[in-house]
């Protein structure tokens, strides 16, 4: 999987062109209002460090396009003009999030305020693009049937799946990746699906979803560990996502934790996801390689997977120690495709944690709390906060 169409690596740092600055500032305004719900222009200027004139221009445009709503004026103390609080208009625009993994496709539609408006879930079986595209199209038409009027103001789709992306010898190798996606990029998918598509890794989308909907809303530095068929991490550092040079930051499934350990399809031995993943669970419990056997196991209490927990815990504890020492994070959030009771058992098995730059035992590990749709909801936020999303220009021109 490639995230973008091939383009030459930039050799120099380019200056800011005005169009880019405008869309970047618009994104800053939208994100800041979403986080704070209601803000006056003066508060926006302070929080975004933009000039009052820039804030005034951007908010005028977004109000005109119906993306922002103006509230009743409030007087701030005795002096000055009354200020108008601005909020996101839930019906100002809509966005779709699609999570594709080995076993499920979950598609959600959210409004501008992030509220779930429609949802579809379909079983899949390790789909290639050729198999997945018709399923995604069907999910889109089902979403449209649930909320047809929203289609007029659709910003696009965030499509997320397991990584890594575009890494020779890793991307489409082995049972933890989805097959046949290495030649696909967002441009091709946008053309095939008839709307702007942003691609991202599932772990990164989970980190966004947990930030917007779950237990990470107050954290400035955390890592989301996504235990799926493989293992990935979403990095949220200093208040923003960290994607890495080629969007593969957090691909910790291939971090070596046992130099002479189990062979991995990437060519190394002892990769972390050979011990901590649904695939590793199935192998450890000697399950047949099919979805049914795993589903049946996960329907039991986590004691049924005790042998796997005992092999996973020390390796994961080591990885958490590395993440804490390297990144000085406030917490590691654990989520993914395990049922909640199994996630809890995995977290419990990690205590006591090794000492690191973080000392408190209690708050260093958190369970993902945004629920089963965390990845799809995080994916749906991608088009809303994508400063390059061309749909904004369409909505603004239509106003
Ligand atoms: Zn590996």
Q: Is 194 exposed, middle or buried (0-12, 13-18, 19+ CB in 10 A)?
A: exposed
Ligand 1 center–CA 141 separation, angstroms: 38
**Helix or strand (DSSP H, E) at 95:** strand 94-100
> Are the CB atoms for 365 and 373 separated by under 8 Å?
no
User: Hunting for tokens 């560990």 — which residue is that?
Assistant: 225
Ligand 1 center–CA 7 separation, angstroms: 28
- The whole-number average pLDDT for the span 101-117 is 93
Bridge pairing between strands 365-367 and 68-70 = unpaired
Which pLDDT does position 12 carry in this prediction?
Answer: 43
Ligand 1 center–CA 318 separation, angstroms: 17
- The whole-number average pLDDT for the span 267-287 is 96
Kindly calculate the radius of gyration of the chain based on its CA atoms and give it in whole angstroms.
22
**What residue ranges define each of the domains in the chain, with the CATH number in brackets?**
18-88 (1.10.10.10), 91-201+376-398 (3.30.420.40), 215-369 (3.30.420.40)
Ligand 1 center–CA 269 separation, angstroms: 7
Ligand 1 center–CA 64 separation, angstroms: 51
**Helix or strand (DSSP H, E) at 160:** strand 154-161
Ligand 1 center–CA 74 separation, angstroms: 58
- The whole-number average pLDDT for the span 290-294 is 86
Ligand 1 center–CA 226 separation, angstroms: 16
Ligand 1 center–CA 77 separation, angstroms: 61
Ligand 1 center–CA 184 separation, angstroms: 22
User: With bands split at pLDDT 50, 70 and 90, how would you rate the model's confidence at 218?
Assistant: confident
User: Hunting for tokens 């198999």 — which residue is that?
Assistant: 131
Ligand 1 center–CA 290 separation, angstroms: 21
pLDDT at residue 104 above 60? yes
Which pLDDT does position 380 carry in this prediction?
Answer: 96
pLDDT digit string, tens, across residues 46-85: 999 999 999 999 999 999 999 999 999 987 666 677 899 9
Q: Residues near 114 by Cβ (< 8 Å), separated by ≥ 6? A: 34, 212, 213, 377, 380, 381
Ligand 1 center–CA 255 separation, angstroms: 7
> Are the CB atoms for 340 and 183 separated by under 8 Å?
no
Ligand 1 center–CA 29 separation, angstroms: 40
Buried b (16+ CB within 10 A) or exposed e, 10-30: eeeeeeeeeeeeebebbbbbb
Ligand 1 center–CA 263 separation, angstroms: 8
* Residue 191 structure tokens: 């053309």
Which pLDDT does position 248 carry in this prediction?
Answer: 82
Ligand 1 center–CA 337 separation, angstroms: 20
* Residue 109 structure tokens: 């539609």
pLDDT at residue 128 above 80? yes
pLDDT at residue 170 above 60? no
Ligand 1 center–CA 288 separation, angstroms: 22
Which pLDDT does position 171 carry in this prediction?
Answer: 59
Ligand 1 center–CA 246 separation, angstroms: 18
pLDDT digit string, tens, across residues 337-395: 999 999 999 999 999 988 887 767 668 999 998 888 999 999 999 998 887 778 888 88
pTM exceeds 0.75 = yes
User: With bands split at pLDDT 50, 70 and 90, how would you rate the model's confidence at 168?
Assistant: low
Ligand 1 center–CA 271 separation, angstroms: 5
Ligand 1 center–CA 32 separation, angstroms: 39
Ligand 1 center–CA 165 separation, angstroms: 14
């Amino acid at each position: 999987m490639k995230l973008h169409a091939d383009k030459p690596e930039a050799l120099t740092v380019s200056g800011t062109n005005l169009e880019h600055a405008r869309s970047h500032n618009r994104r800053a305004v939208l994100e800041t209002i979403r986080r704070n719900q209601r803000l006056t222009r003066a508060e926006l200027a302070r929080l975004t460090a933009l000039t009052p004139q820039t804030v005034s221009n951007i908010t005028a445009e977004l109000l005109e396009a119906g993306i922002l709503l103006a509230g009743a004026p409030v007087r701030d103390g005795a002096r000055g003009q009354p200020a108008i609080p601005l909020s996101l208009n839930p019906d100002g625009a809509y966005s779709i999030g699609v999570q594709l993994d080995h076993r499920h496709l979950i598609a959600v539609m959210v409004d501008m305020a992030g509220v779930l408006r429609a949802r579809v879930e379909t079983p899949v079986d390790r789909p290639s693009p050729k198999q997945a595209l018709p399923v995604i199209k069907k999910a889109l038409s089902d979403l449209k049937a649930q909320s047809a009027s929203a289609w007029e103001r659709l910003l696009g789709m965030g499509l997320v799946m397991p990584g890594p992306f575009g890494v020779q010898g890793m991307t489409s190798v082995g049972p933890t990746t989805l097959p046949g996606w290495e030649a696909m990029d967002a441009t091709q998918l946008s053309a095939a699906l008839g709307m702007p598509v942003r691609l991202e890794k599932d772990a990164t989308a989970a980190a966004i979803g947990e930030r917007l909907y779950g237990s990470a809303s107050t954290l400035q530095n955390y890592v989301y560990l996504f235990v799926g068929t493989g293992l990935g991490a979403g990095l949220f550092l200093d208040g923003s996502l960290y994607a890495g040079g080629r969007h593969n930051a957090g691909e910790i499934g291939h971090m070596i934790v046992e130099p002479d350990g189990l062979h991995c399809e990437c060519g190394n031995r002892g990769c972390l996801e050979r011990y901590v993943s649904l695939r590793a669970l199935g192998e450890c419990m000697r399950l047949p390689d099919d979805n049914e056997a795993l589903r049946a196991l996960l329907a039991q209490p986590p004691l049924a997977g005790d042998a796997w927990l005992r092999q996973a815990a020390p390796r994961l504890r080591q990885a958490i120690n590395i993440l804490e020492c390297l990144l000085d994070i406030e917490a590691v959030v654990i989520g993914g495709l395990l049922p909640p009771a199994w996630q809890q058992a995995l977290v419990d098995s990690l205590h006591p944690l090794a000492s690191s730059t973080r000392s408190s035992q209690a708050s260093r590990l958190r369970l993902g709390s945004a629920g089963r749709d965390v990845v799809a909801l995080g994916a749906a936020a991608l088009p809303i906060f994508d400063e390059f999303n061309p749909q904004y220009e369409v909505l603004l021109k239509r106003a």
